[in-house]
Amino acid sequence: MEEKLYHYSQSLEAVKRVISFYESFESTLAGKSSRKSRYIRIITDEYLSVKSEQRILLYKGIIISIYGAWESFVRGVVVQYATSRFLRKQNYPDYPKEFKVSYVNKYMEHLSRQSGEWKSSEKCQELIGEIYNGISGQGCFINEDVFFKNYANYRISIINDLSTIVGIGNVSSRIMSLDKFKNYMSNEDDSYGSIKNQELRHRLAYKNLEDLVEERNTVAHGKGTLTLMSSELLLKKVEYFMLLGECLVNVFQDELVLNGECCQEDLTYIEKISGNMAMFKINSIVKKGDKLTVIKGDGKCCEREILCMLDASESEIEQALSSMIISIKFESKVKQDWKFYKKIQPSAQ
C-alpha cells in the first residue's frame, strides 16, 4: 500500500504545483512595471483577453485531477488489501461473507447484461473461468472492470461499502478517531472538537469529499452551477485529500497488522526504562515523528508517535539495522507485551 499512497500523493503534489505556478504567473503579469519588454506586454494582453476562459478550463482540470487521483487510489487500496488479506490464500470458504456474496453477484450481473453474441465469446469463457477458479479455491482475484463497475461518485458512503465487502467495518468512524485527522479538523474548525452530535460531526469531517464529488459532477456532466474556488481554497482541499488518503491506508494497514499479515515488527521491545520510554531492537529504519501501529496484549490496536531516540542518529540506524538496540521515547506509555509496526507514509521512492 505504500506504493499506492506514494503515487497518490505525487499526483496531488503535481496539482499543488500547477495551482501555485498559475497563481505566481498571474501575479507576475499583473505587476505594473515600465521595464516590461514589448514581448511580455503582448503576452500579458493576450492572456488577459482569454483569462476568464482559461481559469475555467484550468479549474475544471484541477477538479477532475483531484477526483481521478482519489478514485483510482481507493480502488487500488481495496484491491491490494483484499489480495494481501485473503485472496492469495486461495481458501474461498474463509473469505469475508460480504465479499463472497458480492464477488459472485457482480460476475453474474455482468454476464447477464451482455449480448448473446458476447456470451459465446472467449472473453465470456474467461470470466466464467475466473468465477470457477475463485469459488473452487484455485485462485481468486478482483477483476476491477467487473468488481467496481457499478460504483461511481466515491463519497464516504461508497468507501464504507467497499471496505465492508473486503471485511473492514466502520472505516469512516475509524478515520475520524485517528489523532492526525482529529488534529487537522480541529485546526480547520475550532468548534469541531466540541461537536457532540455524531451525525453533524461526521458530515463536517467529510464535507470536503462530498463537495469534491458534487463539483466533479458539475464539471464532467454539467450538473448544477460551477463556482470557482480561490487558489488558496483549492490548496487547502488538496491538503485534506492527502491526509484522507494517508488515514485510509493507516486503517487498512491496522487491519493487516491485527490479522497477522505483517510478519515482522519494526521495533522489538527489550526492556522498560520508564512509562513512555524503553529499549528496542531496531528491525527497520525509524525516526523521530514516525507514527506506529501498536497491537496491545489484549489484541486491541492503538497508535504511538516517536518523540526522540536517545542512543543513535538516523544515519547510524540506517547503517546497523540488524544489531542496533536503542532507547526510544514515545508521547505516552508503552508496555512489554505490545507489538510495534511503523505506519505507512507517502515517502519518496
Map out the domains of the chain as residue ranges: 2-258, 267-342
296 grid coordinates? 496491545
Is residue 247 very low, low, confident or very high in pLDDT (cuts 50, 70, 90)? very high
Residue with more model confidence, 138 or 305: 305
pLDDT for res 41 = 63
From residue 129, alpha-carbon distances to 122, 133, 146 in Å are 10, 6, 14
**Would you say 297 and 280 are in contact if contact means Cβ atoms under 8 Å apart?**
no
Is residue 348 very low, low, confident or very high in pLDDT (cuts 50, 70, 90)? very low
Residue with more model confidence, 332 or 252: 252
Most confidently modeled range among 48-52, 76-80, 336-340: 76-80
Q: Which pairs from 174-177 meet CB under 8 Å and 24+ separation? A: 174/251, 174/254, 175/205, 175/244, 175/247, 175/248, 175/251, 176/201, 176/202, 176/205
Is residue 286 very low, low, confident or very high in pLDDT (cuts 50, 70, 90)? confident
- Alpha-helix runs per DSSP H in the chain: 2-30, 38-49, 51-85, 97-112, 116-119, 122-135, 144-147, 156-165, 171-177, 179-188, 198-205, 207-221, 231-258, 314-319
Q: Residue with C-alpha cell 504511538?
A: 304
pTM value is 0.75
**Would you say 334 and 278 are in contact if contact means Cβ atoms under 8 Å apart?**
yes
Residue with more model confidence, 257 or 230: 230
**Would you say 343 and 290 are in contact if contact means Cβ atoms under 8 Å apart?**
yes
Q: 154: burial class by Cβ within 10 Å (0-12, 13-18, 19+)?
A: buried
| Residues listed for the chain | 349
Q: Residue with C-alpha cell 487537522?
A: 184
pLDDT for res 151 = 86
**Would you say 83 and 141 are in contact if contact means Cβ atoms under 8 Å apart?**
yes
The stretch 267-274 carries a mean pLDDT of 80
What distance in Å separates the CA atoms of residue 179 and residue 80, rounded to the nearest whole number? Answer: 25
pLDDT for res 24 = 79
What distance in Å separates the CA atoms of residue 141 and residue 80, rounded to the nearest whole number? Answer: 10
pLDDT for res 33 = 55
* Confidence check: pLDDT of 101 > 90: no
From residue 117, alpha-carbon distances to 111, 121, 130, 176 in Å are 12, 7, 20, 49
